[in-house]
Structure 1
Amino acid sequence: MSRVGVEESLTDVKQALQQKGYDVVDLFSMEDAANCDCCVVTGLDQNVMGMTTDVPGGSVIQAKGRTADEVCQEVEERLGHSS
């Protein structure tokens, strides 16, 4: 299954993705993001961790104003998986 990097504060998103079988890792740096197929960030800070554009090999999803289910759905769509 795909590896998804999630900002540490997004506990509900991490749990939802883990329940769907994703390999979820905490994002602490761009090096962490580089090893992920997709990254989820809070979107609360402009240019959080320098990830305003696609990370190598993946994409960035902003979770601001969205439910964990909405974020999971976008992860699935971007990675070509369906639940």
Structure 2
Amino acid sequence: MARIGVEQSLTNVQEALRQRGYEVVPLKGENDANECDCCVVTGLDSNIMGMQDVVTQGLVIEAKGLSAEEVCQQVEEKIKYS
């Protein structure tokens, strides 16, 4: 199953992804993002631990305004078509 990096503040998203069988890792820095199939962030305008360059290069989902279920659906779509 895919490895998904999720910002630490998105605990509901982390739990929802785990329930679907994904390996969920907290995003703490650039190396964490590089080792993930997809990243979920609170907002693309935030520069998490200096990761702005990395975030714009991979599969990224902005969770702002989405429910945990909607984020899970987007993760599945992005991974399926990547």
Compute the TM-score of the two structures, normalised by the length of structure 2.
0.86
Q: Structure 1: which 4+ aligned runs deviate by more than 6 Å?
A: none
Distance 1:54 1:60 in 2: 8
Q: Count residues in correspondence.
A: 77
Q: CA deviation at 1:30?
A: 1.1
3-state DSSP of counterpart to 2:15: helix
Distance 2:10 2:46 in 1: 17
Give the equivalent residue in structure 2 for 1:74.
Answer: 74
Give the gaps of 5 or more residues in structure 2: none
Q: Alpha carbon RMSD of aligned pairs, Å?
A: 1.6
Give the equivalent residue in structure 2 for 1:6.
Answer: 6
Give the equivalent residue in structure 2 for 1:46.
Answer: 45
Q: CA deviation at 1:25?
A: 0.1
Distance 2:25 2:55 in 1: 19
- Structure with greater proportional helix content: 2
Compute the TM-score of the two structures, normalised by the length of structure 1.
0.85
Residue identity (%): 53
Residues 57-68 of structure 1: pairs in structure 2 closer than 5 A: 59-68=59-68
